[in-house]
Structure 1
C-alpha cells in the first residue's frame, strides 16, 4: 500500500509531547514509519513536501525529514501547470 505523509505528520515526533493528542499522533507516525522501513508500506514523496520542508527553520528537523525522500518508493515531480 502506498502512503503519503504531509509535513505536519513528518514533523509531529519533533513537537512538544506534553499534550496527549500530540503524543498519540507522534506514536502513530512512528508506527507508520516502522511499516515503511520494513517494506509493509510504500512512502510517496512529492516536490511540495520538499519545498515545504526547505522552509522549516529547524535545520535538524529539516535534515531528518529530507532523508525520507531516499526511502520513498514513488516520487511525484512538479509539472509546469502545478508549479505555476
Structure 2
C-alpha cells in the first residue's frame, strides 16, 4: 500500500493535544507511521513536502519530520508535469500548494492521500482523482483490510 501524508498530518502531534480530535488524529498518525516502518507500507515524499517542512519556523518539528524523508521509498521531484497537473487540480478549489501535494501523490499512483485538513479532504474526494482520508478514517481501512485477508 502506497501512502502520501501531507504536512498537516506530519505536524499533527505538535498541535494542541488537549483537543480530543487532535489527540486521536495524532495517535492515528503515529500508528500509520509505525505501519510504514514495520508492515511494508510505502511512504511517498515530495519536493513540496520538503519545501513546506524546510519553511516551518519550529526547527524541532522540521528535524523530526525530515527523518521521514529517509524512510520514504518514493520521492517525487517538482517537475513541469507535476506543476501542470497541480494547476489543473486547482479547478476543484484546491489551493496551489495543496494541489502540488495532490499532484505528487497521484503521479506515483498512491493508494491514499492522508490529511487532517477537512476542507481539502472534501475537495480532493469531490475531484475523484485519489482517495483522501483523515488518519482516523484510514485506520478503518487498515482494519477492514486485515479482516478480509
CA distance in 2: counterparts of 1:40 and 1:28, whole angstroms: 17
Higher relative contact order (CA closer than 8 Å, sequence separation 6+):
1
Matched with 1:14 is 14
Q: Give the helix-richer structure, 1 or 2.
A: 2
With 15-24 and 32-41 compared, the bigger mean Cα shift is at: 32-41
Report the 3-state secondary structure (helix = DSSP H, G, I; strand = E; otherwise coil) of the residue aligned with 2:39: coil
| Alignment correspondent of 2:43 | 43
Q: Measure how far apart 1:59 and its partner are.
A: 0.3
Count of residue pairs the alignment pairs up: 83
1:2 corresponds to 2:36: no
The two structures have a TM-score, normalised by structure 1, of: 0.93
TM-score (norm 2): 0.53
- Matched residue, 1:57: 57
1:15 offset after TM fit, Å?
A: 1.1
- In structure 1, stretches of 5+ residues that fail to align are none
Q: Which residue of 2 aligns with 1:30?
A: 30
Taking the aligned partners of 1:29 and 1:56, their CA distance within structure 2 comes to: 19
1:16 positional shift? 1.3
Q: Which structure has the larger Rg over C-alpha atoms? A: 2
Query: Counterparts of 1:19 and 1:40 in 2: how far apart (Å)?
Result: 31
What SS does structure 1 have at the residue aligned with 2:57? coil
The CA RMSD measured in Å over matched residues stands at: 1.3
| Pairwise CA distance, 1:55 | 1.2
Q: Counterparts of 2:73 and 2:40 in 1: how far apart (Å)?
A: 12
